[in-house]
């Protein structure tokens, strides 16, 4: 049973082939950064760098000093491997060199 000034939050991080969500019991008023540190997730994933990785709560970007609420999930985001705009530009460029009619669909 938790005390009145305690709450449960989760800290989440995912790689392409692995994800980890760690529920932790913390003091009311804890920040996102404090929860990340308290979870120990940075020991399991040493590539996490809070000066580089963005963080969010339930998919919305937030700052490290944001105070958390009971049952919040802090998510640590990885850097994108490729810029989505560049990927779309490349796909569009590849599409222009396709055969007339947009492909090899047999009728």
Q: Which long-range contacts (CB under 8 A, 24 or more apart) does 80-89 make?
A: none
35: three-class secondary structure by DSSP = helix
Q: What is the pairing mode between strands 73-76 and 60-62?
A: unpaired
The superfamily CATH assigns to domain 6-81 is RnfH-like (3.10.20.280)
pLDDT tens sequence for the chain (107 residues): 556 789 999 999 999 889 999 999 999 999 999 999 999 999 999 999 999 999 999 999 999 999 999 999 999 998 766 666 777 777 777 775 444 555 555 54
Residue 9: is it exposed, middle or buried by C-beta count within 10 angstroms (0-12/13-18/19+)? buried
Eight-class DSSP state of 82? S
Q: What is the pTM of this model?
A: 0.72
């Amino acid at each position: 049973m938790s005390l009145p000034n305690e709450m449960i939050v989760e800290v989440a991080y995912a790689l392409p082939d692995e994800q980890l969500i760690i529920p932790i019991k913390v003091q009311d008023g804890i920040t996102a950064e404090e929860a990340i540190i308290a979870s120990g997730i940075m020991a399991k994933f040493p590539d996490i760098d809070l000066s580089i990785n963005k963080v969010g709560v339930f998919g919305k970007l937030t700052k490290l000093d944001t105070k958390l609420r009971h049952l919040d999930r802090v998510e640590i985001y990885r850097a994108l491997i490729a810029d989505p705009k560049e990927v779309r530009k490349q796909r569009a460029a590849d599409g222009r060199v396709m055969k007339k009619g947009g492909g090899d669909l047999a009728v």
